[in-house]
Structure formats: C-alpha cells, structure tokens
Structure 1
Amino acid sequence: MIKLFRSKIYLALFLMAAVVVFGVFGYRYISDYSWINALYMTVITMATVGFKEVQPLDDTAKIFTVFLILASVFILGFAISVLTEYVMSRNSLQILKKKKVKNKIKNLSGHVVVCGFGRNGMQAAERLTAYKRPFVVIERNKELIQKYEDEVLFVEGDANDDNVLLSSGINRAQYLITALPDDAVNLFVVLSARQLNNELFIISRASLVTSQKKLQLAGANKVIMPDKIGGDHMASLVLMPDLITFMDKLSMEGEHTINLEEVSIEDFTDQMDCNSLRDLDLRKRTGCTIIGYIAPDGEYIINPEADLKLQPKSKVIVLGRPEQIKKLNEMFHIG
C-alpha cells in the first residue's frame, strides 16, 4: 500500500513539473516572454493568485492561459488528494498496527517482558528470538520502535508506569528482564513488577555493586552486572584461554545449535520408570551426558553420581552436540 501511494505521489510531482515546463515554453514562444517572465507567469497562473500579467496577452495567449489554469487546478487537486490520502492512510496504518500488537500481547501468557531496548535489551531479544520464546519489549524511544517494529512486539512508554507494565501483559508473564542503564530506574521497575505479579521471575541489570543488594531486596531474583561479567571473561581469557574458548563453544546461539539443555525430571518419569540417573541411561539412548543436577531446593550438583536418586521437581543439565540434543528432545517430547 505504501508503494502504491509513493507511485501516486511521484505521478503527481511529474504532472506538476510537466505543467510548469509546458507553461514556461508556452509563454516563451506564444507571447515572446523572457525565460524569467515565462516562469513567473506560469507560477502565478498555476497558483491562481490573481497578479497582473507581465504584459498584455493576445487571444492565443489567453486561450493558452485558460488551458494552463484548468490543467493546473486538476493536477494540483490530484496532488493534494494524494497527499491527504497518504497522510490519513499512514495514520490509519499506525492505528491498525498498534491494535494488532495489543491483540497479540493480550493472547500471550507465560512470556518474557524486556524493559529497555538498548545494548543489553537487544542482546536479550536476539537470544529469545533465536529460541522462539515469546517476549514483549517496553521502550520509549520512538525511533528505535519504528526501526524494529516489524521484528519485535513493542509497548511504547515508561517502564516505571504501572499501566505500561500492564499493557505488556506483566500480570500473565513468567519472566521480566529489566535492562535499563539507570540502577534507580531498574529498582522502581522491579518494585512495581513485583507488586503486579508476585510469581514473576525478575532478572535485573545493575551497574554498581551497591545496587545489587537493593535490587534483590526490592524483589529481583537475579541481578546481572554486565561490566563485571565482561571483565571476568577477559581476565579468564588470559589465565585459561583454551578453557574459556571451549566454554564459548558451548554458548547457545539458537534452537538448532544448542549444546546444553535443562530438562525437568517429570519429562522423563512421565514416560519411563526411573529412580536414579543410571536408570535414565541418556548416554546410551541419545549420546548426551548429564553434567549437572538441580535439586528441588535449588542445590546445584556438578557431575552427579550415577546412583543419585531422582526427586520430583528436580532438573538435570545435559551436554551434547546439536544433533544429540535434538534426538533427546524428540525422544522425550521436550519443548
């Protein structure tokens, strides 16, 4: 539709330019005007401002002027109608887009709300997109929204505003990532979000070490300090370069390149009898290796023993090549 309007606008501009050229040449050769006077007469005739002629017109020039006025009126009217229709349609399209986005958000449940679409917010959005995890971004920068509105569900506004948070479906969301650059603003967002959804798992960015405890007291489940993580990573590359490079290879880039998987025990026990990790025998079944166990109370066990008893609501961390992880997911209908 936008392309159609653009072609109409180009047509209107072409017709107006053609009338100007036609008028200039007409006055130049019919009334023997100079080029400047011919252009002046053409413009005042097209604009119908009623200024006096540069010099008296003979009958031929008068007839030419009549046709020039009629052509100008129709073409200017066409141009104005095209521009008006274009502006109105753009407004209508924006309204329809916003309505469509609202309807999509209303249908979301268990999604992720991302506050801020800066560097960290974009990285979070890219990873969530790679895993096809539904999410909504709260952002107040209109330019950013217009640039990425075809790829991301946006709610325009301030994340500190409860109504904006509710518009993102915060009361139905499962996770909140607040990646705003100001720790104080993140603190208020965490407080507001926790009041609106007590079951929400909140992940907050922090720039200062002193902000970490405050954010946790406000209700954040996890506090991430990007600068600290970056510094630790760079230092580790000096101290243990090969190990860190190997760990980077395990980074999860997307759905089809995953090396690590977190699986609930219920995904296994619902389909087979198993009391211990040995009973699962994932190495033989899928080629994957269990490298971690998360107990129901949140205790993490690295490289658990094969005889470790499985408990309800616990999880295992599985390592494997992408094709092995895919086989695991297909075998136990995970995800």
Structure 2
Amino acid sequence: MRKITLKVLTKLPTKYVTSGVILIALLFVYGVIGSYFIMHLNFVDSIYYAVITMATVGYGDYTPHTGIQKIFATTLALGGVALLAYVFNIILTNFQEKMSNYSKGVRKMQAIKDMDDYYILCGYGRVGKVVLNELTQRNQNVIIFEKNEEICESIEENESVTTIQRDATEDDLIAKLAGDKCNSVIISTGDDVSNLFIVLTIRETNPDAWIVTRASKIENISRLRKAGANKIVSPEIIGGQDLYFESAKPHLLRITVRHTSDEIFDEFQIIAKHGCTLENIDYHLPGIETPLTREIKTKNLLDGKNYLNYLDTHADQKQALKNLYKLTNNTHSHLISGPDKPTFDALVNDLEKIDEIIGVNLSDEEIAKITKNEI
C-alpha cells in the first residue's frame, strides 16, 4: 500500500503541481514583503513570520498591533489555510482517482482471468466495431485494447466484453494475454507500423498464437506476414465480417451431409447441444461448383423451433424447401463455428448417428466432383 501511495503522489498532473507551486510562491512573497514593510521586521524575521503565519502556527513572538498589521496577518493566514486546502484537495482527488483506476484495473484483470477463452481486439475504429459486432453475435468473450480514453468509455462493457485503455505498442500485457486461453488476436488499427509492432510483440512470446491483422496499404502485407501474422486482411477489399472469419479459421468446421428437409431440426439440436453456431448452409447442385448459400448465424435452439413452427404453418414455404432438397439430392454443407477441435469431433460423432456424412472441410470443387458422379 505504501508503494502504491508513493507512486500515486509522484504522478500528480503537471498542471496541478505547477499551479500549486506558483500560488505558494506568490503568497510567500506577499508574506515576506508585508512582514518587512508592514510588520517592520528585518529580512530574516520577515521570512520566519511569513512561514509561521501561512502555516497558521502562530507562536506569538510577533504580534500585530495596528489595524493594517492585523489585516495583513489575517489575509496571510487565510491565504495559507486556503492554499493548504487547495493543495490537499488536489492530492486527495488525484489519489482517489488513481486508486479508483487501480481498483477498476484489478477487477478487469480478474474478469479476464475468469474467462474460459476469449478474442483480443486491438483498435476500436470503424473496422473494430464491425469485428466486435460479429464476435458478440456469437457470444464470444472479447478483450479490447484501445488507447483513446473517450472511445474506451463509449464501449459498453459486460461479462463478455472487457476494455483495456492501453497502447498495445507500448505495453507487453497483450503478449501475456495472447496465450493458451486466447482464440485469436485481431489487430484492426489503421496504422500499419503499429500493427507490425503489435504482431512482433505477440509473436516473440507466443509462437502458436493465431494473429490476424489489418493492412491499410497493400505494400505492407508482405512485411506483416514476415513479422508473423497468420492472416493479413485489407478491410477495403473484404470488410470487417471476413476479418472475423479469417481469425476464426481454426474454429470453423464445414461438414457436408445428406438428409431430407424433415431432419433439419434434429440436426440443429445437435449443433446447439455442443454450443456451436450454425453460420450458413450451402446447397450443392449436382455437378455445379458454386453452391447456393443461405446465411443463418445462430446457436439459439429457440430459433430452430421458431423456424420449424414457421414451416408447419406455411405449407408453400415447406414445399419450396422440399423442392430445394430434392433438386440438390439432399446434399448440403454446414459452416459451423465452435470453441475447439474436441467439440467438433464430438459434434461430428453425434451427426453421424442421424446423417449421412459425405466429408469434412471439403472444397466446393471436391463436392462438385462427388455430386457430378450422381447425375
């Protein structure tokens, strides 16, 4: 506690320290001059009298007698009291602020420690906002590094989103957090030099970290790759949503299956059971490489129930879906995001019990060859 107090007191804002020193000096000069000309003391005694009166000690060895002397002593004493109150207020206010920030920082670090896994997002600009939206839609834990205080205060924190107001280029905390519990580090600042430095900082201590970074200039892509970035993304080309998907590559599974439209909910129950998110469904027309893609982005079992109820009450839509499945010979692929490989292994094992699995992580070209043979 003593070390913390000393650290706080030695980091008072310069403007407050300067103003306090100036006020003390002015009051002291006023006290010395007044003591010399009004109290008729010599120079040394004037200094002595100014100090003890400002400090409201008042030993009584020099007593004002005339009206002007009493007024001078009163103003000097009141000025000393006001000045002491001002200085102590600065110290206490700053101390409370620093202690509050320290306590807040401790709580944030404890919240991070309690997270099972998380993503780290560096930079909360236009691209960073899109990435955070993609992550929160999938109920992911996110740690945001942002050096701008106003931006940090504008971010709504909760049990899944924590902000750290630090410059990632000047702090090694990001390297410490990019360990085993970190799914991916997403660097979305608009400065390629900063991005490069952050990549180097993380890669130095975390050789296995999955790092995705933004590149504002195409010529810097090769430099970022050499620095150790796994993926380099140009938001001007593919945007923030694809930045998320690239960062989640180790946690994405594409499984190609064959089943009828009547088994949709059974399949979705298994996906939701393992805490995974069904990102989209690709319907493969026989022999055609490019599939028909349908975006889903949900892990909520209630969404599956609502969709099932919708089909039961809309016979035309249900028949249209049956026709689509018939057209594709019931062959389609699910893009699923999840926490880790063991979860995907268990998910595939459960799906094998109800579905015919054609393959895992097959390319569109490989699937087209398979469906072409079925024509």
Q: TM-score, normalised by structure 1?
A: 0.49
User: Which structure carries more relative contact order (alpha carbon 8 Å, separation 6+)?
Assistant: 2
Q: TM-score, normalised by structure 2?
A: 0.44
